[in-house]
Amino acid sequence: MTSLTMRRTSMWYLIPVIVFATLVLLGQWLPLQAHAQSSVRPPENATTAIAPPGPPLQGGVQGTQSDAEIWHDIRLGETGSVPIPDKSAGQMIQSPGEDWRLYRNGPTNDYLGYAMLATIVLLALFFAIRGRIKVEHGMSGIRIKRFSTLERMSHWLMALSFITLGISGLNFTFGRSLLLPVIGKDLFGPMSGFLKATHNYTAFAFMVGLALSFVLWIVHNIPDRTDLNWLAKGGGLLSKSSHPPAKKFNAGQKIIFWGVMLLGLSLSVSGWALLFPFEHHLFSGTFALLGNIGIDVPAILGLPEPPYSAIQEQQFNSAWHGIISVVMICLILAHIYIGTIGMQGAYDAMGSGDVDLNWAREHHSLWVEEVMAKKTDDGAVAAPAEWLMGTDRT
């Protein structure tokens, strides 16, 4: 391969980085003002003196209802009339909001944090016990083309955007309790504002990468009988014996694929509803649909029965988005581990796109046979080191 060809090939790797960076920078100058939400808190020493509208009558009675009764109704979420289009503004106090706040700052922080820590600990223990999975027969020096440029572009676009979303999203959940005491308000405030804008616009890059990856790899991730054998033998990960036969994607990779696709889709939908609030009623519709087939989700989870108000929908979206995000982070941590330090030669697949022939034969023997058969049919079998790569050796 000439040096000019190598330079042209390497430039393709910059495309997902450029697209990703452009969307992030664009988000800093095009904030979603029309849909922005803020959290305004009064100073700690502030005092309030709020009374129901209208002049009170003698004895603290207004009309036929006492002040206590009026505030009781307001506390229960009673909605009054307002002269503006947003009728939800007629609700002065939304009591379930306190339940959501306590849930978000309590069990959400605790259990989701424990889940990520447990994943890291388990991966560390696995590495300490199993060690790095090496190529049993050593590297052959012969390279075989595994992923095209477009496949690697879609993967890295999705990967870079997800890492950015994960970091910025974790700041929303844990930043106030973990980072704020360390770096102070003067730094934490601007940093969080930057991460919020970055999170909002990077989400679109993630959706594009997710869609491209689905289209490119769905055909290779349909489950088949070879997956049962791979799962029965643990994929060869638990022992140092030979790895079970697999096609282009083995059963473990198919689990990762479908996990990323389904969780990523759920993240995209709930994230879209959070970006454009009060316009969707996903949970009311979903729970009603499940109720029609006999699955009463609110009763199972102890939630109020639908339909839900617009603000309740946003609270459910927020909780769901956080839970699914952490589940996907745990899944991706395992994926990153096996693709880097966990397995020798695995990173090359998404790095250069070429993998060692011995690595391919040990982990994806059925796929190698398919590639060889196709090359044989095309009449291009002269030197394995050349036709397996699909290009000249450097």
pLDDT-derived band at 38 (thresholds 50, 70, 90) equals very low
CB 374 within 8 A of CB 382: no
Q: How far is CA 345 from CA 96, 261, 351, 357, 390, in A?
A: 52, 25, 10, 10, 19
| Average pLDDT estimate for 26-39 | 42
Does position 62 have pLDDT exceeding 60, yes or no? no
269: domain CATH number?
1.20.950.20
Which pair of structure tokens corresponds to residue 225?
């009988």
Q: Is residue 114 part of a domain?
A: no
Q: Which of 209-223, 234-248, 299-313, 369-383 has the lowest mean pLDDT?
A: 369-383
pLDDT for position 45: 53
CB 310 within 8 A of CB 88: yes
pLDDT in tens, 8-21: 444 454 555 555 55
Q: Which of 219-228, 244-253, 372-381 has the lowest mean pLDDT?
A: 372-381
The chain-wide mean pLDDT, for the chain, equals: 80
Q: Is residue 21 part of a domain?
A: no
Q: How far apart are CA 35 and CA 277, in angstroms?
A: 7
* Residue 351: other Cβ atoms inside 10 A: 14
* Residue 63: other Cβ atoms inside 10 A: 8
Q: Is residue 176 part of a domain?
A: no
pLDDT-derived band at 234 (thresholds 50, 70, 90) equals confident
DSSP assignments along 84-124, one per residue: SS-GGGGBS--THHHHHHHHIIIIIHHHHHHHHHHHHHHHH
Q: Count the domains in the chain.
A: 1
pLDDT for position 14: 52
Q: Which of 156-165, 217-226, 301-310, 323-332 has the lowest mean pLDDT?
A: 301-310
Which pair of structure tokens corresponds to residue 104?
């978000």
pLDDT for position 117: 94
**Which residues does 217 contact at the CB level (< 8 Å), separation at least 6?**
151, 249, 257
Q: Is residue 378 part of a domain?
A: yes
| Average pLDDT estimate for 304-326 | 88
Q: Is residue 226 part of a domain?
A: yes
Q: Is residue 151 part of a domain?
A: no
Does position 350 have pLDDT exceeding 60, yes or no? yes
pLDDT-derived band at 37 (thresholds 50, 70, 90) equals very low
Q: How far apart are CA 65 and CA 61, in angstroms?
A: 6
pLDDT-derived band at 185 (thresholds 50, 70, 90) equals very high
Q: Is residue 201 part of a domain?
A: no
Does position 314 have pLDDT exceeding 50, yes or no? yes
Structure-token match 């996990």, residue found: 259
Segments forming the whole domain that contains residue 257: 129-145+221-394
Q: Is residue 207 part of a domain?
A: no
